[in-house]
Amino acid sequence: MNSCDYRIFWEEAVKQLREEIGESIDLWFSRISYERSSESHIVLSVPSAFFRDQVRQRYEVSIEKKLYELFGTPIQLSFEVKHIQPAQDSPANTALPVGVEHSVGKAAEEQHTGIIPEAETPPQQNRSLFTGGAKKKATEAAQNPHPLLNDRYTFDKFVIDDDNPLPANAALAVSKNPGSSYNPLLIYGGVGLGKTHLMQAIGNELHNRGLKIMYTTAENFTNEFIEFLHKNKMHEFKNKYRNADALLIDDIHFFDKKEGTQEELFHTFNALYESKRQIVFTCDRPVEELKNLSERLRSRFTRGLSVDLKIPSYETRCAILFKKIEADNLAIPKEVVELLAKNISSNVRDLEGALTKLRAYSELTGPITMEIAQRLMQDVFGSPRQHNISVDSIQKIVADYFNISFVDLKSKKRTKNISFPRQVAMYLAREMTDFSTTELGVEFGGRDHSTIMHGHQKIETQIAITPSLEVNIAELKKRITNAAK
């Protein structure tokens, strides 16, 4: 029997979070209900899978931290999706079934969206791979998603850009015939253009066919390499990466300047390549622009096929939005889709971000109209990159805002009161200017481009879970834009 009841801790946590963050959290928290508890575990219910994902992204860390403070040992949260009867005035909800599903797994969303689970779609088969044991493995694999791959990153969810079909077609070809003509496949291009999606689509496809897929980021590969080296367990590291049927390494620009890891990667590459295993890399720029990469590794990276992802055309941007709207069963008018596609031409991630914003609004308040979309998107559209914004002015405004000196902001000092504003400045510089991370590294006292990426990522994640930071960032953006006028 379960004698735990953490309801009062949950209620106290919400109360304290409201005091700290502000009443804005009610928008979300008023629709979360406490359900029950078991040992170190609270179950909450939410009205939709989308709502759950948003709450997790924005508040899960803060809630768990607060519960830990209050209770003294960690309490885990899980969410159940309880579909409620659609509100009369909300066409977005009309298709929702009434019922309860557990939040984990995809069941809730499939029922919600009507998407056929991927495992039921027969994968395109390469006959030569389907013999005996491989077939059995394939069946098992199709039932178990790969733990390191996002199961949403599949080919059927990727819209091929008519103006630039090569990257997607090359990835498809690799997924049909791994280890043959395009080896390695190198996918490069700016942020948010679908590199990780395409790479993982290859991984998912091959995984479903029973192949052993190793997916990692260059950063993770580097960290693991150092860790195994320290533990004197290099043989384990080698086994892990050299036993794969396909090796996927994301964001290889991170290898710039990491000589030791480059050496190890070179040997891993050769071992796999010689035994005709497929290798796929992604990079945020052409490999020629990686300055501190050994020549022999550079030649390995580009030995197969390199494809360049570009910003998709207007028509493709519309198609991407329509696809997501249809998959998620959203009620967003066509003219709003066109408005987004016309005004957001930075990358696909930004396009998705805009859609998420509209979706959150419609979940919480009501249907989206053109007027509402225009109002909600004001700050998204209203801030096209101004070309006269300098990194210098961003740094000065941020230093001033946080009451630290400009010199300290650019220095190597690592105390928190300085490193945090520095990361905020890195985030803003990346968001508001067109400088590459390498150029920004120079502007920030001769730092590595990966430091800029790390700073940007850290603030981006924190904004998602700390609404008060979002307010500070908006204020800083306003000051920077005004100063450049």
Contact positions vs ligand ADP (CB under 6 A): 157-159, 191-197, 312, 320, 348-349, 352
Minimum Å gap between C-beta 32 and ligand ADP is 25
Residue 151 binding target from Mg ion, ligand ADP, none, CB below 5 to 8 Å by type:
none
d(CA 357, CA 380): 10
Cα distances (Å, whole numbers) of residue 59 to 38, 42, 54, 374:
21, 15, 8, 27
Q: What residues are paired with 305 via a beta bridge?
A: 185
CB atoms under 10 Å from CB of 349, counted, come to 13
Contacted entry of Mg ion, ligand ADP, none for residue 304, CB cut-off 5 to 8 Å set by kind: none
- Which residue lies nearer to ligand ADP by CB, 344 or 426? 344
Q: Which is nearer to Mg ion, 175 or 196 (CB)?
A: 196
Shortest spacing between CB 197 and ligand ADP, in angstroms:
4
Sign of the Cα torsion 173, 178, 182, 187 reads positive
Q: Which is nearer to ligand ADP, 65 or 157 (CB)?
A: 157
Of 80 and 109, the one with the shorter C-beta distance to ligand ADP is: 109
> What whole-number distance in Å separates Cα of residue 369 and Cα of residue 69?
43
In angstroms, what CA-CA distances link 261 with 237, 269, 327? 12, 12, 41
Residue 193 contact partner, candidates Mg ion, ligand ADP, none, CB within 5 to 8 A by sort of partner:
ligand ADP
Q: Which does residue 285 touch among ligand ADP, Mg ion, none (CB within 5 to 8 A, set by kind)?
A: none
Crossing angle (nearest 10°) for helices 314-327 and 334-343: 130
Residue 344 identity (one-letter amino acid): I
Q: Which residues contact 446 (CB under 8 A, 6 or more apart)?
A: none
C-alpha distances in Å from residue 98, one per residue of 101, 326, 454: 10, 20, 43
CB of 155 to Mg ion, least distance (A): 17
**Which of the 8 DSSP states describes residue 130?**
-
Q: Decide whether 188 or 273 has the Cβ nearer to ligand ADP.
A: 188
Smallest gap from Cβ 196 to ligand ADP, in A, equals: 3
310 binds, among Mg ion, ligand ADP, none (CB under 5 to 8 A by kind): none
How far separated are the first and last CA of the chain, in Å rounded? 66
**Closer to Mg ion at the Cβ: 196 or 466?**
196
* 3-class DSSP state of 193: coil
**Based on CB atoms, which residue is closest to Mg ion, 283 or 321?**
283
Provide, rounded to whole angstroms, the least separation between the CB of residue 87 and Mg ion: 37
Least distance in Å: CB of 348 to Mg ion? Answer: 11
Which of ligand ADP, Mg ion, none has residue 13 at its interface (CB below 5 to 8 Å by kind)? none
- Residues with Cβ < 8 Å from 42, sequence gap 6 or more? 6, 9, 10, 34, 36, 67, 75, 76, 77, 78
Q: How far is the CB of 355 from ligand ADP (least distance, A)?
A: 10
| Closer residue to Mg ion, CB minimum distance, 248 or 330 | 248
Output the smallest distance, CB 191 to ligand ADP, in A.
4
Nearer to ligand ADP, 158 or 241 (CB): 158
103 vs 154 by CB, closer to ligand ADP: 154
Residue placing its CB nearer to Mg ion in the complex, 148 or 483: 148
Segment 208 to 247, residues that bind Mg ion, using CB under 5 A: none
Query: How far, in Å, CA of 39 to CA of 457, rounded?
Result: 34
**Binder of residue 348, out of Mg ion, ligand ADP, none (CB less than 5 to 8 A by kind):** ligand ADP
Place of tokens 């797994």: 105
Using alpha carbons only, give the angle 3, 7, 9 rounded to the nearest 5 degrees.
110
CB of 445 to Mg ion, least distance (A): 27
CB of 348 to ligand ADP, least distance (A): 3
Spatial neighbors of 317 by CB under 8 A, at least 6 apart, are 340, 341, 344, 345, 348, 351
Residue 93: Cβ within 10 Å count: 20
Helix (H) or strand (E) holding 329: none
Comparison of 324 and 422: residue with beta carbon closer to ligand ADP: 324
| Cα–Cα distance, 227 to 231 (Å, whole number) | 6
CB of 89 to ligand ADP, least distance (A): 30
Q: Which residue has the tokens 């990522």?
A: 457
Beta bridge partners of 214: 247
Site string for Mg ion, 146-185 (x = CB under 5 A): ----------------------------------------
Strands across the sheet with 213-217, in order?
Answer: 213-217, 246-250, 278-283, 185-188, 305-308
Residue 196 is a binding residue for Mg ion (CB under 5 A): yes
What's the closest the beta carbon of residue 352 comes to ligand ADP, in angstroms? 5
Scanning 191-199, 291-299, 329-337, 370-378 for contacts with Mg ion by CB under 5 A, the matching segment is 191-199
Among ligand ADP, Mg ion, none, partner that 300 touches (CB below 5 to 8 angstroms by kind): none
Q: Tell me which of ligand ADP, Mg ion, none is bound by residue 418, counting a contact when its beta carbon lies within the kind-specific cut-off of 5 to 8 angstroms.
A: none
Q: Which does 438 bind (CB under 5 to 8 A by kind): Mg ion, ligand ADP, none?
A: none
Tell me which residues touch Mg ion (CB under 5 A).
Answer: 195-196
